[in-house]
Structure 1
């Protein structure tokens, strides 16, 4: 148990040592063996530079850019960099691109939905998204009371343009496409979707949070990356995370609009109280300047040539990992690899056991549950740091598949039965956690049993189970 407020203050070095000990139970954020959550450039000195930049502006407040013009200059510079890489700026067909720096992709997507909702006149706003769109759109719809029209994707995992056209109605305020989708790394038909939205007079947002920064560099290297930015007529907004493939520290994202008029509904302003008039371009009011300064330092230090070199390493790592999957009996590529290697398994290779076996060998992947007609898969986000470890993955993948076959599938305990989301209580979750060997505060162990159970649970029940378990974890030890 950590005593965050001891009666007597603790020496600084002891506090830092305690924090380092806590970090020992975390997954490795560096070293090219974690295929989710973090983005490792493997550039010597980059972390140190970002931390020093963070420190310079950590206590600066982004609430009022007239009080702290340094942050205004930094944000405008980041927006200009993102806009220029995504088809906007002087000399383009979208010269008036503007944007805002947010805390992450979820906030960027939420604000894109807010801007579309607030610009519309309908009292029943709806957004049309492919079933592979990021879950943050569902979160935005929930928070903003917007209806979510989910359109199944085609067999190629890309948004279905014809089905999308059928869903667009008089209350539709936004159509969405991914470049690429997170789960499978597939790029939606952005040009066709944007043309459709433009024809119907509806805003069109490109979710480039995941790979929007790196894909222009991959295109420069000869990769077959179709247009997805402001060079595409009908694209009204784009989101791109700098804390992903721009390798800035968490959390910095950029939401871009084709022009200032499109952005205006994104703002929140309120003067109906005796204090200062609140005016916010993003969700937060007070914002630390630390992440913004760290992002700017990262971009300026790496520069275009640095990002091109990192894209080259990423491309090479993807090719090596994809070949390993293709050459290993029992697994197969589930989608064309660009920045994601998404693999599916044969019936005699349980994907959740395989994820555990890979973890035992030091490879931390992201298992994905079945969805509709889509089978469970294993997701690998590939960053530049993976280039140094990719050749080791092939042999370990083969060994992990062999071990998975020997273990066989996880027998599911009769825990679900007729369980419904309404029946989930803290006591029930506590009992389930014990049966599954999950102890709050204990280091993460094999998760195949948990994932297998969640995989067969209907989505609503899965949500309730995971919510209950997270609530179980997020309790202080009094």
Structure 2
């Protein structure tokens, strides 16, 4: 039994508390084993979890707010930044010998800081703007929302999933402070034409940020293995900053990302400093002030333990897994690859309109394979995303068999067909018209719980079948979809006692 209140009157024994945590974790997706193709990244390296947990514990109480008090953290941060810089075309002996950076909590913080740095470099621009492809990560939009920077999105080709560099150039205005590109984009795993985008940005005198959060720690190793990886990093003179996540394909525990700048002068506007108050002078290189040293120490331990040879082996295993999974898709009637794999992503579309990919996601889930459905967008079809890790390599044959079986079951079930009145409702509702009660009733009618606790106090399970929900979300306009999910997550994120 889990108490409704997180603070008991009398403290509990340590083992009892751990039992509660394990019980709560029982309803989660598996983080290891290679069967979850999103959200987590598992290298299947024996002993790595124990090492990183120990390293995290050693520095968990170190506070990154004051580097003079805890020089160990600065040393580890500098080591991580140096490793990323050398991997991404910077450092001694390169055309970008002065690359500097900072460790952040994740790719979203890195992108927000990249936009913030570019914005603050131009205080004379009253209404700053950034230009990014339509496939750029949503964190660019979040940065624009938080920082009051307008986001100009350039459409991508339905065939190549890439933007036209000429269209990027045309979108640059006098108010543009940053141009973005992805290597690769998360959704489809496609690498933007970074060389051309960086060149048009440089011609316009605008910074160019490469979002390599997803591929920055895999593409260099794949290149060393002989794969045809295009230039995307500081080897290109127009690239002024790069973000790369270590908690993705560097296989460090969450959350650690790195934001790199081509030189110290470009980084200066990233800092926040404030002395006009009676307390200590605050200076922060990142958004957070207090930062635990635990994630940084865990990332440091991961890189030191795996080394270049380890990452080459993991990249080779991941490449083999990607190729095997792609072959399984090619061999399955009714399915196709939305894009040929260029890094670590498999993106699956349907050639048969009667083969409902949202149902297929449910069928794969029932067989223990957890994939990520992606809704149709601006002429791009709905598809299924798989982030492939090294741990999936031994499972390729089993996935191929289960995929064929899941496709057969999907055909037997037929596509989801929403009632006409529900479709009409989804298309006629306005975001302003949604209320928590309306959302609660709608989700309950679709079989989705509002997060109410079970009798034993544990969270309500998420429904195993989400095809109807995904179909409804796809039918709703983007603004309405956003509001629906805000209200739904708001229903989930409430203390247990507030739900009765």
Please indicate the TM-score interval, normalised by the length of the shorter structure: over 0.9
Cα distance between partner residues in 2 of 1:172 and 1:10:
56
Deviation at residue 267 of structure 1 after TM alignment: 0.6
Contact 2:426–2:475 (CA under 8 A) maintained in structure 1: no
Contact 1:159–1:177 (CA under 8 A) maintained in structure 2: no
Equivalent of 2:408 in 374, 378, 402: 402
When the two chains are superposed, the root-mean-square deviation of aligned CA atoms in Å is: 0.8
Deviation at residue 417 of structure 1 after TM alignment: 4.9
Q: How does 1:196-345 map to 2 (within 5 A)?
A: 196-337=200-341, 338-345=343-350
Q: Which residue of 2 aligns with 1:411?
A: 417
1:460 aligns with 2:453: no
Structure 1: 4+ residue segments shifted above 4 A: none
Cα distance between partner residues in 2 of 1:256 and 1:19:
37
Cα distance between partner residues in 2 of 1:420 and 1:168:
33
Cα distance between partner residues in 2 of 1:471 and 1:143:
20
Q: How does 1:183-194 map to 2 (within 5 A)?
A: 183-194=187-198
Q: Which residue of 1 aligns with 2:461?
A: 443
Cα distance per residue 1:138-182 (max 9 Å; x no partner): 000000000000000123011220111111010000000000000
Contact 1:177–1:188 (CA under 8 A) maintained in structure 2: yes
Q: Which residue of 2 aligns with 1:388?
A: 394
Contact 2:427–2:477 (CA under 8 A) maintained in structure 1: no
| 2:140 partner SS | helix
Cα distance between partner residues in 1 of 2:396 and 2:126:
52
Provide the TM-score with structure 1 as the length reference.
Answer: 0.99
| 1:356 partner SS | helix
Contact 1:370–1:376 (CA under 8 A) maintained in structure 2: yes
1:56 aligns with 2:58: yes
Q: Which residue of 2 aligns with 1:477?
A: 496
Equivalent of 1:123 in 100, 123, 126: 126
Cα distance per residue 1:309-354 (max 9 Å; x no partner): 0000000000000000000001100011121000001201101000
Cα distance between partner residues in 2 of 1:385 and 1:32:
5
Contact 1:320–1:390 (CA under 8 A) maintained in structure 2: yes
Provide the TM-score with structure 2 as the length reference.
Answer: 0.95
Contact 1:356–1:448 (CA under 8 A) maintained in structure 2: yes
| 1:209 partner SS | coil
Q: Which runs of 5 or more structure 2 residues have no equivalent in the other structure?
A: 452-458
| 2:349 partner SS | strand
More deviation, 439-448/271-280: 439-448
Q: Which residue of 2 aligns with 1:141?
A: 144
Equivalent of 1:423 in 406, 430, 433: 433
Q: Which residue of 1 aligns with 2:455?
A: none
| 1:396 partner SS | helix
| 1:205 partner SS | strand
Cα distance between partner residues in 1 of 2:168 and 2:474:
28
Cα distance between partner residues in 2 of 1:417 and 1:435:
18
Cα distance per residue 1:74-100 (max 9 Å; x no partner): 000000000000000000000000000
Cα distance per residue 1:436-474 (max 9 Å; x no partner): 111113222211111110011111111011111000100
1:375 aligns with 2:375: no
Cα distance between partner residues in 1 of 2:299 and 2:388:
20
Q: Which residue of 1 aligns with 2:96?
A: 94
Contact 1:368–1:379 (CA under 8 A) maintained in structure 2: yes
Q: Which residue of 1 aligns with 2:454?
A: none
| 1:416 partner SS | helix
Q: Which runs of 5 or more structure 1 residues have no equivalent in the other structure?
A: none
Q: Which residue of 2 aligns with 1:72?
A: 74
Cα distance between partner residues in 1 of 2:188 and 2:430:
30
Deviation at residue 264 of structure 1 after TM alignment: 0.4
| 2:426 partner SS | coil
| 2:469 partner SS | helix
More deviation, 416-425/104-113: 416-425
